[in-house]
Chains A and B, each alone.
Chain A
C-alpha cells in the first residue's frame, strides 16, 4: 500500500502532463464523475462541510486494518473532482498518517486558487474535515 507522500507524488506526476488549465479541469471533471458515491444514508446535514458554495458531504469509516476510508459527494462536479483527489490521497491511511500529512501537493498541481480561504468552494474546509475525522478516530 502506498503512503500518502507516494500517492501525492503520483497525482503531481499525472497533473504535470497537462499543458493548460483546460486539460487539468477536464481531468478533474472526469475524476468527479467517477467518484465512488457516498452511501445515501450518510448524505445528512451533519456530514455537510460548511463554507462551500456547493454542498459537500464526507463520511469516514475505519476498516479492518485500522485505516480510514472516506466517501464523499457534492452537487458540483468540479468540487467532486477535488474531493476525489483528496480521497485518493488520504483514504486507506491510518489516522496518524492523515494528521501528519502536509498538503503542498495542491499547490503543485495548479489548484492553488482553490486553496484561498475566501474562495467559497471550501477546499481548506474539506482538508480540515478529513483531519478532524482522523483526529476523532485517533482517540477512539
Chain B
C-alpha cells in the first residue's frame, strides 16, 4: 500500500526541531536548504549532550566503565546503520567523516588496482566530491576518466552509458540522487550493467538518504556512501558501505592508532574490518548521534516522509510555475526528490538569494559544487530550494511571496 501525505502530523514533528522557532532578519525562519544540511531534532541534540555529560571517553581500549559504555554505544550505532541499509555484516559499515571522506578512501585504495588503460566512468550529474578524487586517481595511475553525459532534462543518457561501458571499465561512479537537480538516477540498471562487464559501482547516496531507505543487498551495490548531517544527524560523520570481500582487498587509507593489529618497526599488521579503515580516535559522539538520527527518521518512516515531501514538491512546483519568467532545471516532479533548482529569466540567482535571505528564507544559490552541470546549461548557477519533512505549504507560500517581492525589486 502506498502511503499518502494525509495524516502526517507535521506540527508535532516541527516541535522536535528547536531551530525552526528562530527568527532571521526579524522574520520567522523558512529553511529550504535541506539538501546542504538538514536540521537536528531535539532527540539527537539530547543524545549529543548525554554523551558529553555522562560517558565521554575514548573507545576500544580502556577497561574503565566510561570507555566501555562509549564503545558499546558507538558499536551499537554501527549496527543501527547496518540495519538501516540492510548490510550483511557490521564489518561492512565504515564510519567516516562523511561522503567526501568515504569516496576519497575508496579512490585512494584503488591506486593499487588501477593501471594505464583502465577506465573509470563518472556520471555528468556528480558533485565535485565524486569527480575530483577520481581525477586524482587517474592522474596517479594513468587510467582514463570517462564521463557519462546527461540530457537537457537533467537525466543520465543511458544509451551513452551502454556505449561507454566496456571491459576496460573498472569503476562506475554515480550519485543515487543529484544534489544540483534532485534527479533520481536508475542505479539498479547501472549496477546490473556495470557488473556485466566486471566493473564495480560506487553510489554517492548523500542526497538520496534523506528521502529514500536504500537496501544495499537488494541493490547489489559495491560501495555506498552517505553523510549524517543530511539525515538529521550531526556534521562530520558519515558512512562508507562496502561489500566485505572488496573492503578486505582495499588497502588502508590512513595509518595510525585503532587500525593496527601488531606494530613493530620491522612490520605492522593491520586490524580487521571495520577498524582497518578507522585510524585514530573517531568522531565518537557523532557516530552515536548518527545512529540516533537514523532511529528518529525511521520512527517517522521513510514511506511517510517520501509521500509528504512529494506533496510539498508538487505544491511548490505548481506555485513557482505561476511566475511567467521561471525556468526550472531537471526532470519532472515524479522523477526527482524534493529539490527545485531554478532561475528567473533575466535575474542573477545571487541577487534573488540575497533578497529572499533578507526576508528570512534560506535557499542555496550558486553552482552547488556541480560546475559541470551549470556549464551544461550555460548558467552561472541556480537558486535551489530543497524541502524536508518538517517544512510546510505555508512556508512555501511565504517563499513565493518573497520571490514576488524580489522580482518586483530587481526587474
Contact = CB atoms under 8 A, between A and B. Distances in A.
Interface in B372-411: 380-381, 409-410
Interface stretch (A3-11, A74-82, A93-101): A74-82
A121 B350 contact: yes
Interface in B331-364: 348, 350-351, 354-355, 358
A66 interface: no
Interface string B198-221: 000000000000000000000000
A21 B25 contact: yes
Interface stretch (A22-30, A38-46, A83-91, A132-140): A22-30
B26 to A, nearest CB: 9
A53 interface: yes
B99 interface: no
Interface in A75-130: 75-79, 120-121
B365 interface: yes
Contact of A79 (B350, B358, B365, B410): B350
A55 interface: yes
Given A29-B410, A53-B365, A55-B380, A77 B351 contact: yes
Contacts of B282: none
A54 interface: yes
Contacts of B351: 54, 76-79
A25 B348 CA distance: 15
A21 B380 CA distance: 26
B366 interface: yes
Nearest to A55: B380
B401 to A, nearest CB: 13
A75 B380 contact: yes
| Best-surrounded residue of B354, B358, B366 (most CB of chain A within 10 A) | B354
A54 B355 contact: no
Contacts of B410: 29, 77
Contacts of B25: 21
Contacts of B380: 53-55, 75
A55 B365 CA distance: 14
A34 B348 CA distance: 17
Interface residues of A, number: 15
Given A55-B380, A77-B410, A120 B358 contact: no
Nearest to A81: B351
A53 B350 CA distance: 7
Contacts of B366: 53, 120
A18 B287 CA distance: 49
A78 B355 CA distance: 9
Interface string B47-58: 000000000000
Contact of B381 (A21, A53, A77, A79): A53
Nearest to B347: A77
A76 B352 CA distance: 9
A54 B348 CA distance: 8
A121 B380 CA distance: 13
Nearest to A79: B350
A79 B354 CA distance: 10
Contacts of B354: 25, 78, 121
A54 B410 CA distance: 15
Contacts of A54: 348, 350-351, 380
Given A29-B410, A54-B380, A55-B380, A22 B358 contact: yes
Contacts of A53: 350, 365-366, 380-381
B409 A25 contact: yes
A118 to B, nearest CB: 13
B409 A22 contact: yes
A25 B359 CA distance: 12
Given A22-B358, A25-B355, A54-B380, A75 B348 contact: yes
B383 to A, nearest CB: 12
Interface in B17-39: 25
A26 B350 contact: no
Per CB-CB distance, the 4 closest pairs between chain A and chain B, nearest first, are: A76-B348, A76-B350, A54-B350, A53-B350
28 contacts: A22-B409, A25-B355, A25-B409, A29-B410, A53-B350, A53-B365, A53-B366, A53-B380, A53-B381, A54-B348, A54-B350, A54-B351, A54-B380, A55-B380, A75-B348, A75-B380, A76-B350, A76-B351, A77-B351, A77-B410, A78-B350, A78-B351, A78-B354, A78-B355, A79-B350, A120-B366, A121-B350, A121-B354
Interface of A: 21-22, 25-26, 29, 53-55, 75-79, 120-121
Given A25-B354, A75-B380, A78-B351, 6 more contacts: A25-B358, A29-B409, A29-B410, A53-B350, A54-B350, A121-B354
